[in-house]
Amino acid sequence: MITLPQTLTLAQANDAVLSIEHALGQGSVEKGALVINAHSLRNFDTAAIAVLLEARRLAQAAGRALDVRGAPVAMVELSGLYGVDGLLGFATPEAPSHSARA
């Protein structure tokens, strides 16, 4: 699993892509889907979407799917504005369960 930093803007995008490339190249991520943990991501811009699209391309080149977990709602919405939300493998958070009482 690759964990995104708290801040991922244009200034950090190149380093983020390089770390994803390195992790895939070194085999230091689990087999199967390339899992990206975005739980700690707080500050981001459209460059973060570009990083995830590049991660998807790298994953596909390695014969893997992309699974982005814990993405902030704003990131999912931003990717929807660009029409790429379906490409990014956002994990759907489970809805909280509420028990009904009669």
pLDDT computed for residue 74 by the predictor: 94
Domain count, the chain: 1
Identify the domain containing residue 20 by its residue range.
Answer: 2-87
- Mean pLDDT for 83-97 is 70
- pLDDT for residue 93 is more than 80: no
Q: Quote the CA–CA distance of 101 and 43 in Å, as a whole number.
A: 40
Q: Is residue 23 part of a domain?
A: yes
pLDDT band at 92; cut points 50, 70, 90 = low
- pLDDT for residue 20 is more than 60: yes
Q: Is residue 79 part of a domain?
A: yes
pLDDT computed for residue 102 by the predictor: 40
What is the pTM for the complete model shown?
0.83
Instruction: Kindly report the CATH number assigned to the domain that includes residue 21.
Output: 3.30.750.24
pLDDT, one tens digit per residue, over 23-71 is 888 765 667 888 999 999 999 999 999 999 999 999 999 888 999 999 9
Q: Is residue 49 part of a domain?
A: yes
Q: Is residue 63 part of a domain?
A: yes
Q: Is residue 83 part of a domain?
A: yes
Q: Is residue 99 part of a domain?
A: no
Q: What are phi and psi of 3, to 5 degrees?
A: -105, 130
Q: Is residue 10 part of a domain?
A: yes
